[in-house]
DNA sequence: GTATTAAATAGTAATCATTATCAAAAAGGA
DNA sequence: TCCTTTTTGATAATGATTACTATTTAATAC
């Protein structure tokens, strides 16, 4: 995978943000540094980078995908009101894989804890988007 | 919520299927009993029923939503190749909620274990759909 | 049983996030 | 510099879901 200016800045900005942005949220941020970049380039690179395991694609909540520049194993909580995602600190050293009794023939690649809740913003009643 | 014929049969067929069908998969099944039903009715009722907590909406994998007539707490594994979802048996009596150290201000509604893997069909190389 | 009215349906159009396409530009050698 | 491959920007196409609306149905009152 070539190192293009666009790719580098997309990755840099994603890693800087701790918000798990959607493609278009990240596009708005990247556009400040690369005003001529195309939204398609953002989508394309997020896809390429996640295939390569350099970033993570988060597919909770059914509408827009979100992205995470932090690929270390960790858990997320998803806001059912607005779709925001936050990291959640969980007890150390738990093996989710080891909790499986019967994988029903699936070859399990990975396991994680997942949470749903209401984010601080939405608790205040600022449910701007409906996911 | 009124009990209409369509609503009743949609729920009945969803509960019968153990496959966590998509809206259109369920539509094909329901159509055998109600040949004049509209796909919009299936979508509408799946939405209503899941809002009411009578069924569960599963939003893994970023593409089509899947639905589960079994609302008892249990874990799922999602096939990264084809999108199929299966129940997974996990160790009894684990409180996922209790594993949270810092919810980062979120009011947590529920937690679950989630797995990704390759389903038996896709292991045989029959990856019909690409999720 | 018939009338009333609120809710649900069928059929279809609209939405919108994402993916595909393709000519032009850039990267990375030879 | 020249050549080949990859990437980009712009835009069209896709596809799952949601919105719309005239018509029908369910539930209730009479
Ligand atoms: Mn994260
Ligand atoms: Mn299930
Ligand atoms: Zn929120
Ligand atoms: Zn599969």
Alpha-helical (H) ranges within chain B are 5-16, 23-31, 39-51, 120-123
pLDDT at B127 over 90: no
φ/ψ bin of A90: left (φ > 0), alpha (ψ from -120 to 50), beta (otherwise): beta
Chain B nearest CA to A21, separation (Å) = 15
Best A88, A97, A108, A123 member to test B by mutation, with max B CBs in 10 Å, is A88
Query: Confidence class of residue B131 from pLDDT cuts 50, 70 and 90?
Result: very low
Query: B46 contacts in A (CB within 8 Å)?
Result: none
pLDDT given for residue A123 in this prediction: 93
Nearest CB to B111 within list A65, A115, A119 = A115
A126 confidence band (pLDDT: 50, 70, 90): low
**DSSP 8-state symbol, B80:** T
Tell me what the mean pLDDT of segment B33-61 comes to: 96
Q: What pLDDT score was predicted for residue A127?
A: 55
Q: Interface of chain A against chain B, CB under 8 Å?
A: 57, 59-62, 65, 77, 79-80, 86-91, 94, 96, 99-120, 123
Q: Which domains, and CATH codes, for chain A?
A: 5-67 (1.10.10.10), 72-124 (3.30.1490.190)
Q: Tokens for B5? A: 């014929």
Strand D close to A41 by CB, under 7 A: yes
In the prediction, which pLDDT does A101 show?
96
Q: Report whether B15 contacts B29 (CB < 8 A).
A: no
How far is CA B93 from each of CA B7, B74, B97, rounded to the nearest angstrom?
34, 11, 12
Question: In chain D, which nucleotides are within 7 Å of a protein Cβ?
Answer: 6-12, 16-20, 25-27
pLDDT (0 to 100) of residue B130:
38
Confidence of residue A52 (pLDDT cuts 50, 70, 90): very high
């Amino acid at each position: 995978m070539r190192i293009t200016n666009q790719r580098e800045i997309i990755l840099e900005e994603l890693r800087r943000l701790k918000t798990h942005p959607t493609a278009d949220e990240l596009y708005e941020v990247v556009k400040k540094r690369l005003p001529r970049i195309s939204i398609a380039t953002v989508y394309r690179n997020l896809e390429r980078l996640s295939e390569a395991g350099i970033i993570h694609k988060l597919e909770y909540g059914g509408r827009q995908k979100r992205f995470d520049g932090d690929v270390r194993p960790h858990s997320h909580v998803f806001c059912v009101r607005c779709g925001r995602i936050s990291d959640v600190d969980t007890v150390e050293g738990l093996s989710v894989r080891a909790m499986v009794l019967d994988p029903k023939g699936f070859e399990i690649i990975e396991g994680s804890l997942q949470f749903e809740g209401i984010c601080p913003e939405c608790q205040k009643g600022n449910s701007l988007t409906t996911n």
